[in-house]
Structures are given as C-alpha cells and as structure tokens.
Amino acid sequence: MTADTDLLKLINPALVEAAASGPRLLGGACRACGARSFPRAAVCTDCLSIDVETLALPSEGRLYSYSVVHQAPKGWDVPYVLGYVDLPDGLRVLAHIAAPPAAIAIDQQVRLALGVVGTDAAGAPLSTYTFVPA
C-alpha cells in the first residue's frame, strides 16, 4: 500500500495519509476545547483557538446519501459516485464512493480506501480518499 500510494498524485495530500494499516483521513482536534474538524481547521470554529492538532479519523462510517454524477467539470472520470459519510465521531465527509451504483445504499457501512478519480491538466491520474462498502 505504501509503495503504491507514493506513486499516487493526491488531489489534496493534507486530507489523507497512507499508513501501514491502510489510508487514514486527517482531521483536527482542538487542544483547547476538544472540538473535532474535517478538514483540520486552522482555527477552531467552536472556541477560536489556533491550537488545533492533526488527528487521524475513524476509517469506517455510514453513508448518509449519495448521487451518481454524470455531468461534471473536465478532469473527473464520469460517471462517479459522490456521497456524504458520517463518521462515528460526528464528522461528515464528502467522498467519492468507489463502488458500482447497484452496490450502494443509503445508511450502509463504508470504509476508507484510496482511488483514482480523474486526471490533471497534463493527463496524469489524480487520486483521493474514497469510501467502499465495508
């Protein structure tokens, strides 16, 4: 996994890291009040502290809703599935759902993965965190 992900060009490397046990979403935890954030907040939206540490988030969640997207700006591999995943700590994450639409259902458990979702201006593959049925 580590060797493979080194080759991936991530859309936003600040949002996900590749660990030996698999990818992990990176959020934030305010050291002053404990509030969680995703993406990691530069300033805590609960108490305005700027002492927010990076925190690896749970890798499983529940799919709140989704849509199969057929029309999108240039660069995305259409069709793709977008969904909102609710993590056990209350955070909600917008993510590509890397599964055939027929295998996707509201409220199903999903787990974190990495996947190619499009190409950059030069035609190179672009990757990001995704969720797949657990």
Partner 1 sequence: MTSNALREVRVVGTGLIPFGKFPDQTLAEIAWPAVREAILESGVKPKEIGGVFCGTALGGMLAGQRIMKTLGISGMPIINVENACSSSSSALSLGWLSVASGQHDVVVVVGAEKLTKFGGGTLPLEREDWEVNQGMVMPALYAMRARRYMHEYGLTETQLAEVAVKAHEHGALNPNAQIKKRVSLDEVMAARPVTEPFTLWHCCPTGDGAAAVVLASADVARRLEGKDVRIAASEVTSGLYTDHFRDMTWPELTARGARGAFEMAGIGPEDVDVAEIHDAFTIAELMYYEAFGFCGRGEAYGLLKSGATSLGGSIPVNPSGGLLSRGHPIGATGVAQAVEVTRQLEGRAGAHQVEGAKVGVTHATGGGIAGLDHGACSIHVFAR
Cβ proximity to partner 1: between 34 and 101 the closer is 101
Cβ proximity to partner 1: between 114 and 117 the closer is 117
Site for partner 1, rule CB under 8 A: 11-12, 15, 36-39, 41, 45, 64-73, 76, 79-80, 82-84, 86, 90-92, 94-96, 101, 106-107, 117-118, 128
Asked if 64 contacts 86 with a C-beta cutoff of 8 angstroms, the reply is yes
For residue 87, CA distances in Å to 4, 58, 102, 120 come to 26, 6, 23, 29
Asked if 49 contacts 39 with a C-beta cutoff of 8 angstroms, the reply is no
Q: How far is the CB of 91 from partner 1 (least distance, A)?
A: 6
